[in-house]
Protein backbone atom coordinates (compact mmCIF):
# COMPACT_ATOMS: atom_id res chain seq x y z
CA UNK A 1 0.00 0.00 0.00
CA UNK A 2 1.36 3.41 -0.98
CA UNK A 3 1.28 6.55 1.15
CA UNK A 4 -1.82 8.72 1.43
CA UNK A 5 -1.31 12.24 0.10
CA UNK A 6 -4.36 13.52 2.00
CA UNK A 7 -2.39 12.86 5.21
CA UNK A 8 -0.32 15.98 4.51
CA UNK A 9 -1.22 19.51 5.59
CA UNK A 10 -0.53 22.53 3.38
CA UNK A 11 2.97 23.16 4.72
CA UNK A 12 3.89 19.52 4.19
CA UNK A 13 2.54 19.67 0.63
CA UNK A 14 4.73 22.72 -0.03
CA UNK A 15 7.79 20.82 1.18
CA UNK A 16 6.83 17.87 -1.02
CA UNK A 17 6.37 19.84 -4.26
CA UNK A 18 9.66 21.68 -3.75
CA UNK A 19 11.45 18.37 -3.16
CA UNK A 20 10.08 17.17 -6.52
CA UNK A 21 11.45 20.23 -8.31
CA UNK A 22 8.11 22.00 -8.72
CA UNK A 23 7.22 25.61 -7.98
CA UNK A 24 5.75 26.37 -4.56
CA UNK A 25 2.35 27.41 -6.00
CA UNK A 26 1.78 23.81 -7.12
CA UNK A 27 1.05 22.96 -3.49
CA UNK A 28 -2.02 25.19 -3.58
CA UNK A 29 -3.22 23.62 -6.83
CA UNK A 30 -2.65 20.20 -5.37
CA UNK A 31 -4.52 21.00 -2.15
CA UNK A 32 -7.44 22.54 -4.06
CA UNK A 33 -7.77 19.43 -6.20
CA UNK A 34 -7.65 17.08 -3.22
CA UNK A 35 -10.13 19.21 -1.27
CA UNK A 36 -12.53 18.93 -4.21
CA UNK A 37 -12.39 15.16 -3.78
CA UNK A 38 -10.38 14.50 -6.93
CA UNK A 39 -7.95 11.63 -7.45
CA UNK A 40 -4.37 12.73 -8.11
CA UNK A 41 -4.76 11.69 -11.75
CA UNK A 42 -7.88 13.86 -12.05
CA UNK A 43 -6.36 17.20 -11.02
CA UNK A 44 -6.22 18.97 -14.38
CA UNK A 45 -4.18 21.97 -13.18
CA UNK A 46 -1.12 19.72 -12.69
CA UNK A 47 1.15 18.44 -15.42
CA UNK A 48 1.07 14.78 -16.41
CA UNK A 49 4.74 14.36 -15.49
CA UNK A 50 4.22 15.80 -12.00
CA UNK A 51 1.20 13.56 -11.37
CA UNK A 52 3.15 10.51 -12.51
CA UNK A 53 5.90 11.31 -9.98
CA UNK A 54 3.30 11.66 -7.25
CA UNK A 55 1.66 8.37 -8.18
CA UNK A 56 4.95 6.54 -7.74
CA UNK A 57 4.70 7.24 -4.01
CA UNK A 58 1.05 8.03 -3.25
CA UNK A 59 -2.32 6.33 -3.75
CA UNK A 60 -4.33 7.87 -6.58
CA UNK A 61 -7.56 7.73 -4.56
CA UNK A 62 -7.18 6.19 -1.07
CA UNK A 63 -10.92 5.83 -0.49
CA UNK A 64 -13.67 5.16 -3.01
CA UNK A 65 -17.40 4.54 -2.72
CA UNK A 66 -18.04 0.87 -3.43
CA UNK A 67 -21.81 0.97 -2.89
CA UNK A 68 -24.42 3.54 -1.86
CA UNK A 69 -27.68 2.71 -0.11
CA UNK A 70 -30.55 5.19 -0.01
CA UNK A 71 -33.01 5.31 2.87
CA UNK A 72 -36.63 6.38 2.46
CA UNK A 73 -35.93 9.22 4.92
CA UNK A 74 -33.19 10.67 2.68
CA UNK A 75 -30.25 9.23 4.59
CA UNK A 76 -27.43 7.82 2.48
CA UNK A 77 -25.18 5.02 3.69
CA UNK A 78 -21.88 4.30 1.99
CA UNK A 79 -19.71 1.24 1.83
CA UNK A 80 -16.21 2.58 1.27
CA UNK A 81 -13.32 0.54 -0.10
CA UNK A 82 -9.75 1.40 0.90
CA UNK A 83 -6.66 0.95 -1.27
CA UNK A 84 -5.79 -2.33 0.44
CA UNK A 85 -9.27 -3.75 -0.17
CA UNK A 86 -10.54 -3.26 3.38
CA UNK A 87 -14.07 -1.95 3.83
CA UNK A 88 -15.47 0.74 6.11
CA UNK A 89 -18.75 2.60 6.13
CA UNK A 90 -20.26 6.03 6.62
CA UNK A 91 -23.61 7.79 6.76
CA UNK A 92 -24.83 11.11 5.37
CA UNK A 93 -27.75 12.65 7.25
CA UNK A 94 -29.60 15.51 5.61
CA UNK A 95 -30.97 18.31 7.77
CA UNK A 96 -32.34 21.78 6.99
CA UNK A 97 -29.21 23.43 8.42
CA UNK A 98 -26.87 21.29 6.31
CA UNK A 99 -25.52 17.78 5.88
CA UNK A 100 -23.93 15.78 8.69
CA UNK A 101 -21.53 12.98 7.79
CA UNK A 102 -20.63 10.15 10.12
CA UNK A 103 -17.11 8.84 9.42
CA UNK A 104 -15.10 5.77 10.41
CA UNK A 105 -11.74 5.93 12.16
CA UNK A 106 -10.82 2.23 12.11
CA UNK A 107 -11.47 -0.90 10.07
CA UNK A 108 -13.51 -2.80 12.61
CA UNK A 109 -13.20 -2.17 16.35
CA UNK A 110 -11.83 -3.93 19.42
CA UNK A 111 -14.02 -2.30 22.07
CA UNK A 112 -16.57 -5.14 22.07
CA UNK A 113 -19.73 -3.12 22.82
CA UNK A 114 -22.68 -5.53 22.80
CA UNK A 115 -25.03 -3.26 20.84
CA UNK A 116 -22.60 -2.47 18.00
CA UNK A 117 -21.91 -4.39 14.77
CA UNK A 118 -18.56 -2.66 14.17
CA UNK A 119 -16.82 -4.90 16.67
CA UNK A 120 -18.12 -8.25 15.40
CA UNK A 121 -14.90 -9.09 13.54
CA UNK A 122 -12.55 -7.26 15.88
CA UNK A 123 -10.05 -4.58 14.88
CA UNK A 124 -8.36 -5.01 11.49
CA UNK A 125 -6.33 -1.78 11.39
CA UNK A 126 -6.37 1.94 12.09
CA UNK A 127 -7.15 4.47 9.36
CA UNK A 128 -4.72 7.26 8.58
CA UNK A 129 -5.82 10.86 9.01
CA UNK A 130 -6.04 11.20 5.22
CA UNK A 131 -8.24 8.12 4.92
CA UNK A 132 -10.63 9.59 7.47
CA UNK A 133 -10.60 12.93 5.68
CA UNK A 134 -11.07 11.33 2.25
CA UNK A 135 -14.44 9.92 3.31
CA UNK A 136 -15.68 13.50 3.62
CA UNK A 137 -13.92 14.79 0.52
CA UNK A 138 -15.54 12.26 -1.83
CA UNK A 139 -19.03 12.59 -0.31
CA UNK A 140 -18.72 16.38 -0.38
CA UNK A 141 -17.83 16.16 -4.09
CA UNK A 142 -20.75 13.81 -4.69
CA UNK A 143 -23.14 16.47 -3.37
CA UNK A 144 -21.41 19.58 -4.70
CA UNK A 145 -24.70 20.88 -6.10
CA UNK A 146 -25.93 21.19 -2.50
CA UNK A 147 -22.81 23.00 -1.28
CA UNK A 148 -23.05 26.04 0.98
CA UNK A 149 -20.53 28.84 1.45
CA UNK A 150 -18.08 30.49 -0.92
CA UNK A 151 -14.75 29.82 -2.62
CA UNK A 152 -12.51 26.91 -1.76
CA UNK A 153 -14.50 26.12 1.39
CA UNK A 154 -17.82 25.77 -0.37
CA UNK A 155 -19.13 22.44 0.88
CA UNK A 156 -22.21 20.27 1.25
CA UNK A 157 -20.98 18.50 4.38
CA UNK A 158 -21.20 21.08 7.16
CA UNK A 159 -21.04 18.84 10.22
CA UNK A 160 -18.92 15.79 11.00
CA UNK A 161 -19.43 13.01 13.53
CA UNK A 162 -16.66 10.56 14.38
CA UNK A 163 -18.97 7.71 15.20
CA UNK A 164 -18.75 5.21 12.34
CA UNK A 165 -16.71 2.02 12.54
CA UNK A 166 -14.07 2.18 15.25
CA UNK A 167 -13.24 4.01 18.46
CA UNK A 168 -11.63 7.38 17.60
CA UNK A 169 -9.57 7.59 20.77
CA UNK A 170 -8.17 4.11 20.16
CA UNK A 171 -6.61 5.64 17.02
CA UNK A 172 -5.65 8.80 18.87
CA UNK A 173 -2.77 10.30 16.89
CA UNK A 174 -4.38 9.88 13.46
CA UNK A 175 -7.74 11.10 14.78
CA UNK A 176 -6.19 14.30 16.16
CA UNK A 177 -4.27 14.82 12.92
CA UNK A 178 -7.54 14.43 11.02
CA UNK A 179 -9.23 16.97 13.28
CA UNK A 180 -6.51 19.51 12.51
CA UNK A 181 -6.79 18.81 8.78
CA UNK A 182 -10.57 19.06 8.57
CA UNK A 183 -10.70 22.28 10.60
CA UNK A 184 -7.76 23.92 8.83
CA UNK A 185 -8.47 27.15 6.97
CA UNK A 186 -6.29 25.83 4.16
CA UNK A 187 -8.71 22.96 3.50
CA UNK A 188 -12.40 22.41 4.21
CA UNK A 189 -12.28 24.74 7.21
CA UNK A 190 -15.11 23.04 9.10
CA UNK A 191 -15.48 24.65 12.52
CA UNK A 192 -14.46 22.45 15.45
CA UNK A 193 -17.83 23.37 16.95
CA UNK A 194 -19.43 21.48 14.06
CA UNK A 195 -17.41 18.34 14.79
CA UNK A 196 -18.53 15.70 17.29
CA UNK A 197 -16.31 12.91 18.57
CA UNK A 198 -18.00 9.90 20.13
CA UNK A 199 -16.01 7.70 22.50
CA UNK A 200 -16.83 4.72 24.68
CA UNK A 201 -14.85 6.45 27.43
CA UNK A 202 -11.09 5.88 27.21
CA UNK A 203 -10.34 8.19 30.13
CA UNK A 204 -6.60 8.95 29.64
CA UNK A 205 -7.20 9.88 26.00
CA UNK A 206 -10.12 12.12 27.02
CA UNK A 207 -7.72 14.15 29.14
CA UNK A 208 -5.23 14.35 26.27
CA UNK A 209 -7.96 15.50 23.91
CA UNK A 210 -8.96 18.27 26.31
CA UNK A 211 -5.40 19.58 26.17
CA UNK A 212 -5.24 19.62 22.33
CA UNK A 213 -7.04 22.96 22.05
CA UNK A 214 -9.68 21.68 19.62
CA UNK A 215 -13.07 22.75 21.04
CA UNK A 216 -15.17 20.03 19.43
CA UNK A 217 -18.27 18.38 20.86
CA UNK A 218 -17.21 15.50 23.10
CA UNK A 219 -19.76 12.71 23.34
CA UNK A 220 -19.42 9.71 25.63
CA UNK A 221 -21.34 6.47 25.20
CA UNK A 222 -22.78 5.95 28.69
CA UNK A 223 -25.72 3.51 28.30
CA UNK A 224 -25.95 2.76 32.04
CA UNK A 225 -25.95 4.47 35.42
CA UNK A 226 -23.75 2.01 37.32
CA UNK A 227 -20.53 0.23 36.45
CA UNK A 228 -21.90 -3.30 36.78
CA UNK A 229 -24.71 -2.72 34.29
CA UNK A 230 -22.42 -0.81 31.95
CA UNK A 231 -19.86 -3.60 31.94
CA UNK A 232 -22.48 -6.03 30.65
CA UNK A 233 -22.79 -4.11 27.38
CA UNK A 234 -19.46 -2.24 27.30
CA UNK A 235 -16.27 -4.14 28.25
CA UNK A 236 -14.36 -0.83 28.53
CA UNK A 237 -16.30 -0.23 31.75
CA UNK A 238 -14.05 -2.82 33.42
CA UNK A 239 -11.12 -0.45 32.86
CA UNK A 240 -12.70 2.95 33.49
CA UNK A 241 -15.52 3.67 35.92
CA UNK A 242 -18.38 6.08 35.39
CA UNK A 243 -16.93 8.27 38.17
CA UNK A 244 -13.62 8.48 36.28
CA UNK A 245 -15.45 9.35 33.07
CA UNK A 246 -17.37 12.15 34.79
CA UNK A 247 -14.11 13.61 36.15
CA UNK A 248 -12.59 13.55 32.65
CA UNK A 249 -15.70 15.23 31.23
CA UNK A 250 -15.50 17.98 33.84
CA UNK A 251 -11.84 18.52 32.93
CA UNK A 252 -12.84 18.77 29.27
CA UNK A 253 -15.42 21.44 30.14
CA UNK A 254 -12.88 23.40 32.20
CA UNK A 255 -10.31 23.34 29.38
CA UNK A 256 -12.60 24.04 26.41
CA UNK A 257 -15.69 25.74 27.83
CA UNK A 258 -17.76 23.26 25.83
CA UNK A 259 -20.53 21.28 27.45
CA UNK A 260 -20.26 17.55 26.93
CA UNK A 261 -22.78 14.99 25.73
CA UNK A 262 -23.81 11.51 26.77
CA UNK A 263 -25.32 8.92 24.48
CA UNK A 264 -27.73 6.59 26.20
CA UNK A 265 -29.05 3.75 24.08
CA UNK A 266 -32.36 2.45 25.38
CA UNK A 267 -32.15 -1.36 25.59
CA UNK A 268 -35.34 -3.14 26.58
CA UNK A 269 -35.07 -4.91 29.91
CA UNK A 270 -31.58 -3.56 30.54
CA UNK A 271 -31.39 0.17 31.27
CA UNK A 272 -34.66 2.00 30.62
CA UNK A 273 -37.16 1.57 33.43
CA UNK A 274 -38.26 4.31 35.84
CA UNK A 275 -35.50 3.51 38.33
CA UNK A 276 -32.86 3.93 35.61
CA UNK A 277 -34.31 7.31 34.64
CA UNK A 278 -34.16 8.51 38.23
CA UNK A 279 -30.61 7.21 38.62
CA UNK A 280 -29.56 9.06 35.46
CA UNK A 281 -31.06 12.29 36.83
CA UNK A 282 -29.19 11.85 40.12
CA UNK A 283 -25.95 11.08 38.28
CA UNK A 284 -25.98 14.05 35.88
CA UNK A 285 -28.22 16.79 37.29
CA UNK A 286 -26.46 20.15 37.53
CA UNK A 287 -23.63 19.16 35.21
CA UNK A 288 -22.96 21.09 31.96
CA UNK A 289 -24.09 18.21 29.79
CA UNK A 290 -26.82 17.00 27.44
CA UNK A 291 -28.22 13.48 27.12
CA UNK A 292 -28.95 12.02 23.69
CA UNK A 293 -31.36 9.13 24.08
CA UNK A 294 -31.15 6.58 21.28
CA UNK A 295 -33.60 3.84 20.41
CA UNK A 296 -31.49 0.79 19.70
CA UNK A 297 -30.91 -0.13 16.06
CA UNK A 298 -31.15 -3.88 16.51
CA UNK A 299 -28.20 -5.98 15.31
CA UNK A 300 -29.22 -9.52 14.35
CA UNK A 301 -26.01 -10.99 15.76
CA UNK A 302 -26.82 -9.48 19.16
CA UNK A 303 -29.65 -10.53 21.48
CA UNK A 304 -30.71 -7.02 22.42
CA UNK A 305 -34.12 -5.47 21.82
CA UNK A 306 -35.16 -1.90 21.11
CA UNK A 307 -37.53 0.03 23.34
CA UNK A 308 -40.89 1.14 21.89
CA UNK A 309 -41.34 4.76 20.82
CA UNK A 310 -43.96 5.62 23.44
CA UNK A 311 -41.87 4.14 26.22
CA UNK A 312 -38.81 6.03 24.93
CA UNK A 313 -40.65 9.34 25.09
CA UNK A 314 -41.88 8.45 28.57
CA UNK A 315 -38.25 7.90 29.64
CA UNK A 316 -37.31 11.25 28.08
CA UNK A 317 -40.11 12.97 29.99
CA UNK A 318 -38.78 11.62 33.28
CA UNK A 319 -35.34 13.03 32.55
CA UNK A 320 -36.73 16.43 31.60
CA UNK A 321 -38.94 16.49 34.70
CA UNK A 322 -35.83 15.76 36.73
CA UNK A 323 -34.06 18.80 35.28
CA UNK A 324 -31.80 17.21 32.68
CA UNK A 325 -31.23 18.62 29.21
CA UNK A 326 -32.15 15.68 27.00
CA UNK A 327 -33.52 14.73 23.57
CA UNK A 328 -34.60 11.53 21.86
CA UNK A 329 -32.65 11.08 18.65
CA UNK A 330 -34.78 10.58 15.58
CA UNK A 331 -34.20 7.11 14.14
CA UNK A 332 -32.74 7.41 10.66
CA UNK A 333 -31.44 5.01 8.08
CA UNK A 334 -33.05 1.98 9.75
CA UNK A 335 -33.97 0.47 6.36
CA UNK A 336 -30.32 0.62 5.20
CA UNK A 337 -28.64 -0.83 8.29
CA UNK A 338 -28.49 2.25 10.49
CA UNK A 339 -26.37 0.82 13.30
CA UNK A 340 -22.60 1.28 13.19
CA UNK A 341 -20.93 -1.56 11.33
CA UNK A 342 -24.11 -3.25 10.07
CA UNK A 343 -23.46 -2.58 6.39
CA UNK A 344 -19.86 -3.79 6.43
CA UNK A 345 -20.72 -6.86 8.51
CA UNK A 346 -23.58 -7.77 6.17
CA UNK A 347 -21.43 -7.36 3.06
CA UNK A 348 -18.59 -9.47 4.47
CA UNK A 349 -21.01 -12.17 5.58
CA UNK A 350 -22.66 -12.36 2.15
CA UNK A 351 -19.33 -12.62 0.37
CA UNK A 352 -18.10 -15.41 2.65
CA UNK A 353 -21.04 -17.61 1.66
Q: How far apart are the first and last CA of the chain?
A: 27
Phi and psi at residue 271, to the nearest 5°: -150, 20
Tens digit of each residue's pLDDT (9 = 90 or more) over 53-62? 999 999 999 9
More confident residue, 225 or 149: 225
What is the structure's pLDDT at 333? 59
| Nearest-angstrom CA–CA distance, 159 and 303 | 33
- Identify the top-confidence range among 14-28, 141-155, 264-278: 14-28
What domains are there in the chain, each with its CATH number? 5-57 (1.10.150.530), 63-352 (3.20.20.70)
Mean pLDDT (whole number) for 87-97: 92
Identify the active-site residue in 22, 89, 131, 174. Answer: 89
Active site residue 113: no
Identify the residue with better confidence: 341 or 131: 131
Span 72-88, mean pLDDT? Answer: 95
Could you tell me the pTM of the whole model? 0.92
Q: What is the mean pLDDT of residues 7-12?
A: 98
Would you mind telling me the total number of residues written for the chain in this entry? Answer: 353
State the pLDDT at residue 106: 97
Q: What is the DSSP letter of 58?
A: B
Q: Inform me whether the pLDDT recorded for 128 exceeds 70.
A: yes
Active site residue 89: yes
* Integer Cα distance of 11 and 64 in angstroms: 26
Residue 119, pLDDT above cutoff 90: no
Q: Summarize pLDDT for 275-329 with one digit per residue, the tens.
A: 999 999 999 999 999 999 998 865 554 566 677 789 999 999 999 999 999 999 8
Q: What angle do CA 278, 227, 206 make, to 5 degrees?
A: 100
pLDDT of residue 267: 85
**Minimum mean pLDDT range among 5-14, 31-40, 151-160, 162-171:** 151-160
Confidence at residue 268, expressed as pLDDT on a 0 to 100 scale: 82
244 touches 203 (CB < 8 A): yes
Query: Is 346's pLDDT higher than 80?
Result: no
pLDDT of 348 above 60: no
pLDDT band at 344 (very low <50, low <70, confident <90, very high): low
Amino acid sequence: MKKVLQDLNFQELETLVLSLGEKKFRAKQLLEGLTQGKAISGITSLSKAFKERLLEEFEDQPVRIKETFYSLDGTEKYLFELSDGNLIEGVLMKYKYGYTQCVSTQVGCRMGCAFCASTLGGLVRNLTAGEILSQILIVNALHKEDALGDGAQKRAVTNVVLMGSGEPLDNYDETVKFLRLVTSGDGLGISARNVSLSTCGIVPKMYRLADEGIPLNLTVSLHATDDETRARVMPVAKAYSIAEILKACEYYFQKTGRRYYFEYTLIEGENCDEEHAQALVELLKGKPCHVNLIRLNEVKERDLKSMGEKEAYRFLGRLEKGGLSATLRRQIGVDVGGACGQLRASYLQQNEQ
